[in-house]
Each structure stands twice: as C-alpha cells, then as structure tokens.
Chains A and B, each alone.
Chain A
Amino acid sequence: MGHLTYDASKSIATKTILILAVITIFEVLMALLGKGYIINGFHLPHILVGSLMILMSAIKAYLIIYEFMHMKYEVPGLVKTVLLPTMLLVWAVIAFLAEGNYWNNLRGNVKNIVKTEEISTPVHSDK
C-alpha cells in the first residue's frame, strides 16, 4: 500500500468494484439466458454456461483477494502458503462429487424391500 498515493489507491478500489459489478450482472444474465428465462425456449449448453461461471468466479475471486484484501502487496512466500493449500479443495470437489455419483449408481443394486409410501393418488390415464 505504501507506494501508492491515496488518489491512486482510491481509483483502483472504485475501478475494481465497477468491474466486479459488471461481472456479477453478466453472470446473472448468462444464468437466466442459459436456462431459458429471458428468451422463452432458448437454452445454452450446460457445459458452456458452467465453464463460463467458473471462469467468471475465478476472476472475481482474484480481484477480491488481490485488490480488496491486498494480497497483491504481500511477499510471494505468504501468497503461496495461503493459495497453494486451496488447490487441495479443487481435488476434494472432484473426488467427492465422483463419490456422490458412485452412491447414486449403487442404488441400482438395492432391492427395495421397503414399500415406497404413496404420497399422492395417481390416476391411470385412459389415453
């Protein structure tokens, strides 16, 4: 912080919040557009919206941590001790979602001896 003048750091903060606002609005519009809430019947591929969201979120996290939380002004060693352990979380997400998917697949092996409770009264259609 020391090497920046007050006006310079003030304008950086203002610029950053504006960029964050624009990204957030863009994200919401993409989410609504991709799911067909804006143009009826228009959908975007799930993988496209998903990867765009991850990219945008990464940019937002970078701006908040580096500009607002002043990670930019820390020495490289400190930055590494904080950021490298979070890489473990990336693997944790992949591993546990795969595990959840595996539990779901195991359901096919379960013989349902407990009768499912009927919560509604469906009526057979005659067609």
Chain B
Amino acid sequence: MASVSVAQEHNHAHTTEGGSWKGGSEPFKASYGKLMMWYFLLSDAFTFSGFLIAYGALRFSVPTWPVPDYVFSSFPGGFQHKPLLFVTVMTFILLASSFTMVRAVQEGHRENKRGVVIWMLWTIVGGLSFLGCQAWEWTTLMGGENMTIRQNPFGTHTENGVYLIGDGHDIKEGDTFKAGQSYLIHQHEGKFAPLQYKVTEGRMPEL
C-alpha cells in the first residue's frame, strides 16, 4: 500500500497525461491518501455524532439529570468542585497538539528533518497527555466515584431539604440542599450509603 501511494506521488509530474477517465488526473487535485483522509474524518464525525446525539436524546428523555458541572468537577491533586477546569485543560491540549502538528508539516515542506522530529515529538507529548487526562478522568469516575455500567451513583434532588447526617466527605450534618442540585452517593465498606435527609419544601416521594 505505502509503496503504491509513494509511486503515485512520484508520478505526480506526469498525471496530466491520459485524461480524467483513464486515471490520468487526480480527482479534486488531491492525492489518494489525502482525499481518503478527508472522507475518513467525515465518517469519524458521523460516528462521534451518533454517540453524542444518543446521549442528548437520552438526556432529554428523563426528567432529571445530574448537573455536568457537578459530575465533572474534580481536578488532579485532590481538588474538588472546580467545574470546567479539567475539561478546559484537555481542550487546550488538543488545540496545542494540532498547532504542533501544523508546525511539523511546515518544517516537512522545508525538508528540515530536525524541525519535523521536534514538532512531531511535541505532538506525541500532547497526544499522550490527552490520553493520560482521559485515563485519570475515567479512573476517578469508576474507581473513586463507583460509577459502573449498571449503577449510577449521581442523582438530582427533587425537593429542598436538610441532611440529617454527614457523608464524611464534604457534606456535614445540617447542610441544606435545593431541588435541582446534584448529589453523589458515596460507598462505605463496599456498599452505597445514601444519606438520610429531611424534606423541608417540595413534593414528598410517593412510597
């Protein structure tokens, strides 16, 4: 495969011979590899959209959903309740690595081998950092917050109330909560330990 496309690149100077219907010229004036990379990216966009749209449809189909700013609010080093911070870091790593990739391509056009190696290494560092961030996020979600494919410890309060006990993390006895606020049920000794609370305002759950 690779040798074929390399050969095609070398024939580039002669491509005007033979005409369009005999494979003489490249469609859209792009090499086979480049054209197919664009169509791969297009199909990739559809795959990702499929997942994201499924998420959106599910989220719209239930009355309550944990607030993402609450769910995704941890930061490496034990920081809690920092909404959007880690997401921003990851977005920035993605942006920076597309910049380093462009720089590598530019150095390649100049046939500067050293420059290509340096910028490609930076791109690899960016890729590994992004993967590392993802690994940390998933580890926190599954290992720390006990999310599984069957159990979701996050939820949303449907009434105002006051906690009767603390959870040993950041909720203390007597803390109040409002309808629409999200909560996380922590595990104690391998079992989910929901907190006892008193409803002060709002609908009582039907028992």
**A32 to chain B: which residues have CB within 8 Å?**
83-84
The answer to whether the Cβ of B99 comes within 8 Å of any Cβ in the partner chain is yes
> Which of the four size classes fits the interface of chain B?
35 or more
Do B38 and A99 touch (CB < 8 A)?
Answer: no
Closest to A28 in B: B88
**B53 to chain A: which residues have CB within 8 Å?**
89, 92-93, 96-97
- Contact check: which of A13, A82, A103, A119 meets B61 at CB < 8 Å? A103
Query: Smallest CB–CB gap between B196 and chain A, Å?
Result: 5
Q: Which of A1-24 contact B (CB under 8 A)?
A: 1, 6, 9-10, 13, 16-17, 20-21, 24
The answer to whether the Cβ of B191 comes within 8 Å of any Cβ in the partner chain is no
Interface segment, B15-23, B41-49, B133-141? Answer: B41-49
Interface of B is mostly: helix
**A92 to chain B: which residues have CB within 8 Å?**
49, 53
Do B46 and A89 touch (CB < 8 A)?
Answer: yes
Query: Smallest CB–CB gap between B57 and chain A, Å?
Result: 4
The answer to whether the Cβ of B178 comes within 8 Å of any Cβ in the partner chain is no
The answer to whether the Cβ of A124 comes within 8 Å of any Cβ in the partner chain is yes
Scan B84-110; emit 1 where CB is below 8 A from any A CB, else 0. 100010011001101101110010011
Known contacts: A6-B109, A93-B53, A120-B195. The answer to whether A85 contacts B29 by CB under 8 A is no
- Contact check: which of B30, B38, B197, B205 meets A116 at CB < 8 Å? B205
Closest to B53 in A: A96
Closest to A99 in B: B57
In whole angstroms, what is the CA distance A9 to B108 when docked? 13
The answer to whether the Cβ of B114 comes within 8 Å of any Cβ in the partner chain is no
**A104 to chain B: which residues have CB within 8 Å?**
60-63
Do B30 and A74 touch (CB < 8 A)?
Answer: yes
- Contact check: which of A9, A68, A121 meets B98 at CB < 8 Å? A68
- Contact check: which of B29, B110, B199 meets A122 at CB < 8 Å? B199
Interface of A is mostly: helix
Do A101 and B99 touch (CB < 8 A)?
Answer: no
Total residues of chain A contacting the partner, CB 8 A: 48
In whole angstroms, what is the CA distance A18 to B185 when docked? 41
Do B28 and A17 touch (CB < 8 A)?
Answer: no
Do B164 and A123 touch (CB < 8 A)?
Answer: yes
Do B42 and A89 touch (CB < 8 A)?
Answer: no
Do B29 and A82 touch (CB < 8 A)?
Answer: no
Do B204 and A122 touch (CB < 8 A)?
Answer: yes
Query: Smallest CB–CB gap between B99 and chain A, Å?
Result: 4
In whole angstroms, what is the CA distance A43 to B63 when docked? 23
In whole angstroms, what is the CA distance A64 to B97 when docked? 11
14 example contacts (A-B, Cβ-Cβ < 8 A) are as follows A1-B109, A13-B103, A17-B96, A31-B84, A67-B102, A75-B29, A75-B30, A77-B28, A78-B38, A81-B38, A82-B41, A122-B198, A123-B164, A123-B198
Binding site for B on A (CB under 8 A): 1, 6, 9-10, 13, 16-17, 20-21, 24, 28, 31-32, 35, 37, 64, 67-69, 74-75, 77-78, 81-82, 85-86, 89, 92-93, 96-97, 99-101, 103-104, 107, 115-116, 118-125
